[in-house]
Structure formats: structure tokens, C-alpha cells
Amino acid sequence: MDLPMKVVDMFGCGLPVCAIKFDCINKLVQHNKTGLIFNNEEELARQLIELFTDYPANTSKIESMRKHVDEFQKERWDTNWNRVVLPLVNI
């Protein structure tokens, strides 16, 4: 299964995401770090309530995830390619 480009687009804008769980989503979204992963609509609803209760007075969890997304943005495509794929190709 391929990674959803919408998540990459949102990370590119500095936004953490809520993403439905599937086999490889954790390669992109790190739960409670760059976003939240949910299994069903009830879990998503709980996550959204938790994130936005007392908003904007309490944004600590969202801001913490944004900082980790900022770190994700620093890794460029070519850097990642050279670190992950190139060693496999140069066997």
C-alpha cells in the first residue's frame, strides 16, 4: 500500500494530521509525535475532542506535534533517498 500524499502535503504546510491506521502509515505519521492515528470514527472523534477542548487557550499538544512536523520537513527527498535507497542499489 502506498503512503498518502495528502499527509505529505499537510506536513509540507507544517500541519500535524489525523490519519486512519493501515499497514504502513507509521512510516509517515508517528502517533502523538507528528499526528494522531485512529482505527475508527469513534477514536477520531475522541482525538478531535481532546485536541480542541479549551482551544485556543490550550494548544500544547498541537504545538508539540507541529514542532515534530517541522523536523520532518527538514529531511529532503534526496537526503532520504541517499540514506535509504542508494545503499540498496549500490550492492
Which cell numbers in the block locate residue 24?
A: 504502513
> So what's the pLDDT on residue 83?
82
- Average pLDDT score over residue span 3-18: 88
- Average pLDDT score over residue span 47-55: 92
> So what's the pLDDT on residue 2?
57
- Average pLDDT score over residue span 15-32: 92
Per-residue pLDDT band at 87 (split at 50, 70, 90): confident
Got the DSSP string for the chain?
Answer: -PPPHHHHHHHHTT--EEEE--TTGGGT--BTTTEEEESSHHHHHHHHHHHHTTTTT--HHHHHHHHHHHHHHHS-HHHHHHHHTHHHHT-
| Alpha-carbon gap, residue 61 to 65, rounded angstroms | 6
Residue 48 has a CB neighbour count (10 Å cut-off) of 13
22 vs 75, more confident: 22
pLDDT tens digits for range 52-81:
998 888 899 999 999 999 887 777 778 877
